C-alpha cells in the first residue's frame, strides 16, 4: 500500500481515509476482493481501466490520489524519481523474483541490476 509522505500513514486498510485506486487488470484487484470478504468488509476501491500501476503511483506522488497498490520493484524504481512515495504497509507476503538476461558481451544491464540491488 503506497501513500504520499506528509499525509497520515495508514497502518491497515481500516485506517484508509481517502481514495484507493488500482489498475483494473492487476492482481491487486483479486487481493482486495479477498481482503474485503475476509477481514475488511468496508474496504472500497476504484479499479482504473485507463491508468497503469505506474501512472497510479505517479498520481499518488503528485497528490492527485490518496493510495494505490504496487509491486515492490516498481515502487522502488519510482521512489528514485518521486521520493515522496512511501510504503504504508505490505498487503501480501514477499514472493521471489527471478530476472533472466540474454547472454551478451555487453554486461551493462547486468551491472545496473547489481548496482540497484546492492543499494536496497
What would the pLDDT profile of 61-93 be if each residue is shown by its tens digit?
Answer: 999 999 999 988 899 999 999 999 999 999 876
Q: In what order do the strands lie in the sheet with 20-23?
A: 46-48, 20-23, 67-68, 2-4, 85-87
| pLDDT the model gives residue 25 | 86
The answer to the question of residue 119 being in a domain is: no
Domain that holds residue 24: 2-95
The answer to the question of residue 23 being in a domain is: yes
Per-residue pLDDT tens over the stretch 5-54? 999 999 999 999 999 999 998 889 999 999 999 999 999 999 999 999 99
Domain total for the chain?
A: 1
| CATH assignment of the domain containing 24 | 3.40.190.10
The answer to the question of residue 117 being in a domain is: no
Indicate the DSSP class of residue 15. Answer: G
- pTM of this prediction? 0.76
The answer to the question of residue 106 being in a domain is: no
89 CB-near residues (< 8 Å, 6+ apart): 1, 10, 11, 12
The residue with cell 500500500 is 1
Amino acid at each position: 500500500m503506497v501513500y504520499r509522505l506528509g499525509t497520515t500513514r495508514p497502518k491497515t486498510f481500516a485506517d484508509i481515509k481517502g481514495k484507493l485506486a488500482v489498475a483494473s487488470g492487476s492482481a491487486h484487484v483479486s487481493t482486495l476482493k479477498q481482503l474485503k470478504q475476509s477481514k475488511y468488509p468496508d474496504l472500497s476501491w476504484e479499479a482504473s481501466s485507463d491508468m497503469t500501476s505506474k501512472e497510479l503511483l505517479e498520481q499518488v506522488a503528485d497528490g492527485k490520489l490518496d493510495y494505490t497498490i504496487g509491486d515492490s520493484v516498481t515502487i522502488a524504481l519510482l521512489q528514485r524519481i518521486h521520493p515522496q512515495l512511501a510504503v504504508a504497509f505490505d498487503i501480501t507476503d514477499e514472493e521471489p523474483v527471478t530476472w533472466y538476461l540474454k547472454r551478451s558481451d555487453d554486461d551493462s544491464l547486468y551491472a545496473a541490476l547489481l548496482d540497484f540491488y546492492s543499494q536496497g
